Amino acid sequence: MGEFVRLEVEAGVGTIRLDRPPVNALNNQVQAELAEVAREAGERADVRAVVLYGGQKTFAGGADIKEMADRSYVEMSTFGADLSASLSVVAELPKPTVAAITGYALGGGLELALTADRRVAGDNVKVGQPEIQLGIIPGAGGTQRLARLIGPSKAKDLVFTGRFVEAEEALALGIVDQVVAPDDVYTTAHAWAAQFANGPAVALRAAKAAIDGGLDVDLRTGLKLETTLFTSLWATEDQETGMRSFIENGPGKATFQGR
């Protein structure tokens, strides 16, 4: 476990917990620990789904501006690549992921939330990509994942203005998927993740790979990817278990082993 990021596992759900007060700023150390913990969560068989969580006060306030301000272009070339790569490790987790957003998710914090498959937010949160106010642009997915999620026009509005977006607008735009009371954010996100704790892990991994991989290619190539992943599941125990259970007991009653 790192100093600022840790993995907590309970009943098949892993929580990647950021804990760098006061706002979980993503400095070099946090980025490195985040990637390390995400890799661990991806490899552990007892982790079937993952919650990203920054605590009750705030999800993540962005990159550490004090750390970045006086760096040279050469230094930032390395830092920027490392930042993007660390968040990509989270995005590529081969398991269902959900971000539990409290307080603020700004800049790199929103970019981290965008790596998740789903986002649950408190009704008092504010999200945004305010980098333009610093004379820069988002550098860890804010111009790419956000545009793919809500469309280029809406993404440009947020990136060009750098404005903060409150919970209801974030829900309407599609940045977040569910808005709940602040005290219910983590439990709601955890409940969504928990439904996969005993699910067909290999099929879930294939589903995520098919959707995410298909978004990066044309339709014809995406359909080929889907077919490959679809047919590959006939090599799993869960396919046999699921179909046999359906025939004998009806839908939704299979007990999967994740193999």
What CATH number did the domain enclosing 81 receive? 3.90.226.10
Residues 210 and 146 in one domain: no
Residue 45 lies in a domain: yes
Active site residue 248: no
What pLDDT is attached to residue 69?
A: 84
Residue 258 lies in a domain: no
Query: For the CA atoms of the chain, what is the radius of gyration?
Result: 19
Residues 124 and 170 in one domain: yes
What pLDDT is attached to residue 30?
A: 94
Q: How far apart are the C-alpha atoms of 88 and 110, rounded to whole Å?
A: 13
Q: What is the CATH number of the domain that holds 220?
A: 1.10.12.10
What pLDDT is attached to residue 168?
A: 97
Closest CA to 152 of 166, 168, 173, 167: 173
Return the residue matching tokens 């969560």: 41
Residue 233 lies in a domain: yes
Domain end, chosen from 194, 214, 230, is at 194
Residue 146 lies in a domain: yes
Cα dihedral 87→92→97→102 (10° resolution): 10
259 residues of the chain, pLDDT tens digit each: 789 999 999 999 999 999 999 999 999 999 999 999 999 999 999 999 999 999 999 999 887 888 888 889 998 888 889 989 999 999 999 999 999 999 999 999 999 999 999 999 999 999 999 999 999 999 999 999 999 999 999 999 999 999 999 999 999 999 999 999 999 999 999 999 999 999 999 999 999 999 999 999 999 999 999 999 999 999 999 999 999 999 999 888 889 988 9
Residues 101 and 221 in one domain: no
What pLDDT is attached to residue 151?
A: 97
Residues 154 and 211 in one domain: no
Residues 190 and 237 in one domain: no
Q: How far apart are the C-alpha atoms of 249 and 237, rounded to whole Å?
A: 17
Closest CA to 25 of 83, 93, 91: 83
CA angle (96, 14, 65) in 5-degree steps: 90
Q: How far apart are the C-alpha atoms of 60 and 132, rounded to whole Å?
A: 18
Active site residue 131: yes
What pLDDT is attached to residue 132?
A: 96
What pLDDT is attached to residue 62?
A: 83
Domain residue limits at 234: 201-249
Q: How far apart are the C-alpha atoms of 255 and 216, rounded to whole Å?
A: 33
Residues 151 and 233 in one domain: no
CB-based burial, 101-132: b 16+ in 10 Å, e otherwise: bbbbbbbbbbbbbbbbbbbbbbeebbbbbbbe
> Would you mind telling me the total number of residues written for the chain in this entry?
259
What pLDDT is attached to residue 1?
A: 72
Which member of 43, 111, 226, 240 is catalytic?
Answer: 111
Amino acid letter for position 97: T
Which member of 131, 226, 237, 240 is catalytic?
Answer: 131
Domain end, chosen from 151, 170, 194, is at 194
Residue 256 lies in a domain: no
Number of domains in the chain: 2
Residues 175 and 228 in one domain: no
Domain end, chosen from 173, 194, 215, is at 194
Residue 255 lies in a domain: no
Residues 102 and 222 in one domain: no
Residue 72 lies in a domain: yes
What pLDDT is attached to residue 68?
A: 83
Residues 208 and 167 in one domain: no
Residues 129 and 235 in one domain: no
Q: How many CB atoms lie within 10 A of CB 246?
A: 13
Residues 33 and 153 in one domain: yes
Residue 78 lies in a domain: yes
Residues 221 and 120 in one domain: no
